[in-house]
Amino acid sequence: MLTLNLTVADSFLKRLKGLIGVKALLINEALLIPRCKIIHTFGMKMSIGVFFIGPQGQVCHVIPHLKPYRMAYYKQAVSVVETSVFKKIDAKQWCNAVHQAYADFYRT
């Protein structure tokens, strides 16, 4: 089972920087951006996986491979989790891991 370690972008500067400058994410690393429904990959050198989180903490939209210099938006999202790129066939496993990490974060 995939388990994610969330880093939280909980300040203006952390949100502004996001994953810019990160050369690669380990498979178990993820960035949570609370109060967010739009992200970009401008200035990034790597592609990312993106999970938009809905108001009840559920994964409501998934982008397995967002390339650099792109934007992504999901109107119903309240948060976003950015991960390493993953295959569509593995999306269910990734959704479960993101949901669990998100729920664990807000439980503590």
Average pLDDT over the chain, rounded to an integer: 95
Predicted local confidence at residue 107, as pLDDT: 87
Q: For residue 49, list its beta bridge partners.
A: 83
pLDDT in tens, 37-87: 999 999 999 999 999 999 999 999 999 999 999 999 999 999 999 999 999
Please give the angle made by the CA atoms of 26, 55 and 31, to the nearest 5 degrees.
15
Q: What is the largest CA-CA distance in the chain?
A: 35
Predicted local confidence at residue 59, as pLDDT: 97
Task: Report the top-level CATH class of 5-107.
Answer: mainly beta
Q: Where are the domains of the chain?
A: 5-107
